[in-house]
A and B are shown apart, each in its own frame.
Chain A
Amino acid sequence: MNIMNSNNFTSDLNGKTCVKCDKEAKFTGVDPKKAWYCQGCFIQMVRNKFRSALSKKKIYKDADARDTLVVYDGSPSGTFLLNQIDDALKQITYKRLMVKPTVLVLVSETEEPEIQQVIKRVAEIKENFLENVNWFIAHIASCLYDEPLELKEFECNGVEKITAYKSLLASCSVPTYKKELERMLKEKCLQKLAESLKVTKCMVTDDADDLGRLALDQLCLGRGGSLSSLVTVADKRNDFMIIRPLCDLSKREISIYNYLCKIDDHYIQFSHTQSQEKSVQTLTDAFIRTLEDEKFYSTINTVLSTASKIHNTNGKDGSRCSMCYVEVAEFHCETCSAIRNSCSENLDNIFS
């Protein structure tokens, strides 16, 4: 029996052959009962998923709107995204992707030494990917600025708002809403920075695992009708679009790809201290992990497939919630109203 150990993924190969060619198979995606690939075909399969996510929605058909903010958050998914955009621009494997990227390093760390570490590490990573494009580093707290920012290179923009940002999150008394508020502030930050750079598209690093969890979280928060907007590849919000090109790729596939392409050390190590507070998000995470441990491998895929087939009963028309931008509401949707009520600080200035 041949055993493979790569990047902590142990797989029983058991004489399998690649589903694309006749070579010996060594790698599989999420479900080991399904397709197995040789190294070359696995890399090709992962690239195909990335490119097909972008091409099937014809996101870049408009020649005037190719400027895109590519988010890098230091995660393996972020590294993969940079690598794919880099490849796509160099026209290595496919037709050249007609995109004009600007890399945005989004920092969520709040301590000064860690922020400095990010700046140092970004300078190293920049030498490997997209060195000819503009890179900006900005803190998630940038969402608190009232006006568009004048972004500066080689420094972390928005650090002066970190205290206010921490105070805002601390004012939220419900752990579930605190985490949701953090997610919403991140989206607000991306929108604000895109606006500052006069860009209308933003590629984020959310992969299938993140989006599957998000879909269940949002279902539990009462935003079931908006799942399609929240977890599929293109999320149009007035004059801003969030693009999720990794929506068909699992963390496992991304990690194997990074390992095989030798880019797995281009990430930023954070000493995250996860909150111990129980919330809907922590329960969802535990629930998905349990199902995966029990070999229900298709859970994430099924959830995302379900989410892509449904929409809000009220349809697309009507004004959107001014906080989450996805729910149909005159002013605030029920979930956002509950989040507002759970915060002692006023959110109106941020989400106006």
Chain B
Amino acid sequence: MEKRRGPPPCQSKAGCSNPAKIRKAKDGAQLCGPCFSKSFEDDVHETIINNNLFKRGERVAIGASGGKDSTVLAFVMKTLNDRHDYGLDLQLLSIDEGIRGYRDDSLLAVEKNRVEYGLPLIILSYNDLYGWTMDDIVAKIGKKNNCTFCGVFRRQALDRGAFKIGATKLVTGHNADDMAETVLMNVLRGDIARLERCTNIVTGEEGDLPRAKPLKYCFERDIVMYARSNQLEYFYTECIYAPNAYRGYARKYVRDLEKVHPRAILDLIRSGEKVSVKKEVEMPTLKTCERCGYMTSQKMCKACLLIEGLNTGNTDLGVRKSKKSKKVIVETEGEKKEDGGCGSGGGGCGCAGAADETENEETRKRLKDLQF
């Protein structure tokens, strides 16, 4: 019996005769480099068309961190926009969290993308927006819970940045693994409101700026292979503050699932898509933040609450439900009624009663400049 030598032929539907080099994680197809790239791009195009993600002439902000997902997103969006003539005005939007030795290096990768793809780039920093860098925050609160601050601030910062450049849509590089992890995290945390909407390909339509996830059905492994086969330069160092115990376990579980039963990733997303909250369950209502005007289900948005905690030294505020933090909120609100202040002795507090008028004015102006 003759033994087969070398790699199997490419399984592309186009009838390519090249040897296969890459196994596509999503469907297990063995493909050559160019056919893999074409198949990946076709998947993203199909997602965009089937879900009617964009309108012709729209200005779309691409959330770019310099990592693999956003680098591939920027490249694919540019490629598909040119190939299929979507007529989109694409712009790169980066957020500088202020993490020395991590974000400053990754922003260099974004800068390279700007030059290579010829897309305009805007960078907003936490320092400009909130008066705090992540390095400052970690110095203040330690390494525990810092992802809560970073995640909340980044989400808002991206929205504010997109508004600043006049974008009508924001696209992010969330991939299938991220989506599966989010579904799982929302179930584990019991966050039914987020569970219901987290798998929507476009979110935030009820607000002013919809966010779209064109890579929603792309596996992380395929994104890495696409970046490699197209020789895309990306920054691949993990955030130096990243270790986050609980999410870390969920991430490992999702990765193990992908190895043992790859279909579980898409099934997790499918599960999330099918979920809706029972009528009898009470849900939070959407309001606007009293301080900065951003959407929230509470009086103050999470970002303002976290800044409040940082400025007043109560770093549990907005992080955990402790009696102490609740007491502080009550006290803060009480004092606000009396003298219009938030209790901060300065430190960048934007409310009317803060002690340092100059800093107070600066923070308020910073937030108001970027208001919706």
Contact = CB atoms under 8 A, between A and B. Distances in A.
A216 B267 CA distance: 12
B267 A299 contact: no
A309 B264 contact: no
A147 B16 CA distance: 53
Given A176-B260, A310-B276, A311-B276, A222 B271 contact: yes
B184 A309 contact: no
Contacts of A221: 264, 267, 271
A137 B170 CA distance: 61
B200 to A, nearest CB: 11
B16 to A, nearest CB: 27
B257 A222 contact: no
A335 interface: yes
A22 to B, nearest CB: 24
- Counting contact residues on chain B (CB < 8 A from A), the size range is 20 to 34
Interface stretch (B140-148, B186-194, B219-227, B287-295): B186-194
Contacts of B83: none
B176 interface: no
Interface string B255-278: 011001101101110111111111
B260 A312 contact: no
Contacts of A287: 249, 252-253, 256
B309 to A, nearest CB: 24
Contact of A335 (B184, B245, B267, B277): B267
A170 interface: no
Interface string A207-220: 00000000110111
Nearest to A309: B281
Given A220-B257, A302-B188, A290 B271 contact: no
B271 A219 contact: yes
A158 interface: no
A266 to B, nearest CB: 35
A100 to B, nearest CB: 32
A149 B258 CA distance: 42
- Counting contact residues on chain A (CB < 8 A from B), the size range is 35 or more
B326 to A, nearest CB: 19
A42 B298 CA distance: 39
B195 interface: yes
Interface stretch (A103-111, A159-167, A277-285): A277-285
A335 B264 CA distance: 10
Contact of A219 (B190, B249, B268, B281): B268
A122 to B, nearest CB: 37
A222 B262 CA distance: 12
B272 A309 contact: no
Given A221-B264, A279-B260, A338-B263, A305 B274 contact: no
Contacts of A275: none
B270 A220 contact: no
Contacts of B276: 225, 310-313
B183 interface: yes
A277 to B, nearest CB: 9
Contacts of B266: 222
B236 interface: no
A174 B261 contact: yes
Contact of A220 (B186, B267, B281): B267
Contacts of A310: 192, 195-196, 275-278
A151 B275 CA distance: 41
Interface string A330-350: 000011001000000000000
Given A305-B190, A309-B192, A334-B270, A283 B277 contact: no
B8 to A, nearest CB: 20
Contacts of B267: 220-222, 335
Nearest to A218: B271
- Pick the most buried of B189, B192, B261: most chain A CB atoms within 10 A of its CB: B261
A314 B264 CA distance: 21
A198 B275 CA distance: 35
A88 interface: no
A285 to B, nearest CB: 11
A306 B187 contact: yes
Contacts of A174: 261
Interface string A270-312: 0000000011100110010011001010010011011101111
B276 to A, nearest CB: 5
A176 B278 contact: no
A225 B192 CA distance: 12
A290 to B, nearest CB: 6
B319 to A, nearest CB: 17
Nearest to A282: B260
Contact of B190 (A284, A306, A311): A306
- Pick the most buried of B183, B195, B196, B264: most chain A CB atoms within 10 A of its CB: B264
Given A224-B268, A303-B190, 8 more contacts: A222-B271, A280-B257, A283-B253, A284-B253, A294-B249, A302-B190, A306-B195, A312-B275
Closest 8 CB pairs of A and B: A224-B271, A225-B274, A222-B267, A222-B270, A220-B264, A287-B253, A302-B190, A313-B276
19 contacts: A219-B183, A220-B264, A220-B271, A222-B266, A222-B274, A223-B271, A225-B274, A280-B264, A283-B257, A287-B256, A299-B188, A302-B188, A306-B187, A309-B281, A310-B196, A310-B277, A310-B278, A311-B275, A313-B274
